[in-house]
Structure 1
Amino acid sequence: MMFETSLDDWDYGRALAELWRRSKYERGFISDPFGGPQRAEQGLHRMRALLAGLGDPHLRVPTVHIAGSKGKGSTGAFIATVASQAGHRVGFYTSPHLHRFPERIAINGLPLTDDAFASEARLVGLVADRLDASSSDEAQVTTFEFITAMACAAFARDACDLAVIEVGLGGRYDSTNVVAPIVSVITRIDLEHTGVLGFTYGEIAAQKAGILRAGVPCVSSPQVSEADEVITETAIEIGSPLQMGGRDWNWTGSWRSFTATGPWGDWRDLALGLPGPHQVENACTALAALHFVNASGLTIPEPAARSGLSGTLWPGRFEQTMVDDRVLILDAAHTPAAAAALVSTWRELGISSPATVILGMSADKDPKAFLEALRPLIGHLIATRADSPRAAETEAIFAIASEMGIPSDMQPSVAGAVGTALKSGDAPILVTGSLFVVGEGREAIGLADPDPLWRALNDVNRARPQRCDRP
Structure 2
Amino acid sequence: MRVGLEPMRDLAARLGDPQKSFRVVHVAGTKGKGSVSALIEAALGRAGLRVGRYGSPHVERVTERISVQGHDVDEPTLARALNQALDAYEAARAAGTPAADATWFDLLTASAFLIFREARVEWAAIEVGLGGRLDSTNIVDGEVAVVTNIELEHTEILGKTRAAIAGEKVGILKPGAVLITTLGTDDEAGRVLQAKADALGSRVKRTRVDASAPIAEINLALAAAVLGELRRKEVTGRSGEPVGAALLDSAARAAARLPGRMERFDVEIGRGRVPVVMDGAHVPFNIGAVLRDLALAPELSSPCVAIVAIAADKDARGFVAELAKRASTVLFTDLPGSSRGRSPAELKALADSLGLASEIEPDASHALKRGLELAAQANAWLLVTGSLYLIGALRGAVGKAAPTPEEAGAAPGFSRAPVGGSG
Query: TM-score by structure 2 length?
Result: 0.86
Task: Provide the rounded CA distance (Å) in 2 between the counterparts of 1:391 and 1:252.
Answer: 33
Q: 2:216 aligns with which of 275, 279, 282?
A: 279
CA drift at 1:161:
1.2
Task: Provide the rounded CA distance (Å) in 1 between the counterparts of 2:400 and 2:22.
Answer: 34
User: 2:315 aligns to what?
Assistant: 366
CA drift at 1:439:
1.6
CA drift at 1:374:
2.1
CA change 1:308–1:181 in 2 (3 A) is farther
**What's the secondary structure of 2:220's corresponding residue?**
helix
Query: TM-score by structure 1 length?
Result: 0.78
Task: Provide the rounded CA distance (Å) in 1 between the counterparts of 2:106 and 2:189.
Answer: 28
CA drift at 1:77:
1.0
Amino acid aligned to 2:220 = A
CA change 1:447–1:341 in 2 (3 A) is farther
Amino acid aligned to 2:280 = A
Task: Provide the rounded CA distance (Å) in 2 between the counterparts of 1:396 and 1:290.
Answer: 45
Q: Percent identity at matched positions?
A: 34
- Structure 2: any 5+ residue segments left out of the alignment? 237-242, 402-423
CA drift at 1:131:
1.3
Does residue 67 (structure 1) correspond to residue 16 (structure 2)? The answer is: no
Task: Provide the rounded CA distance (Å) in 1 between the counterparts of 2:50 and 2:99.
Answer: 37
Does residue 436 (structure 1) correspond to residue 389 (structure 2)? The answer is: yes
CA change 1:285–1:407 in 2 (3 A) is same
CA drift at 1:306:
2.1
Tell me the number of residue pairs that the alignment of Structure 1 and Structure 2 aligns.
384
User: 1:290 aligns to what?
Assistant: 227
1:158-194 deviation per Cα after TM superposition (whole angstroms, max 9, x unaligned): 0011111000111111111110111111111111111
Contact 1:221–1:282 (CA<8 Å) still a contact in 2? no
CA drift at 1:204:
0.7
CA change 1:136–1:380 in 2 (3 A) is farther
Q: 1:378 aligns with which of 308, 313, 327?
A: 327
Task: Provide the rounded CA distance (Å) in 2 between the counterparts of 1:84 and 1:418.
Answer: 37
Where do 4+ consecutive residues of structure 1 move more than 6 Å? Answer: none
Task: Provide the rounded CA distance (Å) in 2 between the counterparts of 1:164 and 1:302.
Answer: 16
User: 1:423 aligns to what?
Assistant: 373
Contact 2:27–2:37 (CA<8 Å) still a contact in 1? yes
Does residue 305 (structure 1) correspond to residue 248 (structure 2)? The answer is: yes
Does residue 321 (structure 1) correspond to residue 321 (structure 2)? The answer is: no
User: 2:418 aligns to what?
Assistant: none
CA change 1:395–1:138 in 2 (3 A) is farther
User: 2:293 aligns to what?
Assistant: 345
Task: Provide the rounded CA distance (Å) in 1 between the counterparts of 2:329 and 2:103.
Answer: 40
CA drift at 1:252:
7.8
User: 2:200 aligns to what?
Assistant: 238
Task: Provide the rounded CA distance (Å) in 1 between the counterparts of 2:23 and 2:48.
Answer: 15
User: 2:306 aligns to what?
Assistant: 357
Does residue 110 (structure 1) correspond to residue 71 (structure 2)? The answer is: yes
**What's the secondary structure of 2:275's corresponding residue?**
strand
CA change 1:126–1:297 in 2 (3 A) is farther
User: 1:464 aligns to what?
Assistant: none
CA change 1:229–1:253 in 2 (3 A) is closer
CA change 1:203–1:251 in 2 (3 A) is closer
Contact 2:11–2:89 (CA<8 Å) still a contact in 1? yes
CA change 1:244–1:203 in 2 (3 A) is same
Task: Provide the rounded CA distance (Å) in 2 between the counterparts of 1:298 and 1:123.
Answer: 32
Contact 1:64–1:185 (CA<8 Å) still a contact in 2? yes
CA change 1:313–1:306 in 2 (3 A) is same
User: RMSD of the alignment, in Å?
Assistant: 2.1
**What's the secondary structure of 2:399's corresponding residue?**
coil
Contact 1:182–1:296 (CA<8 Å) still a contact in 2? no
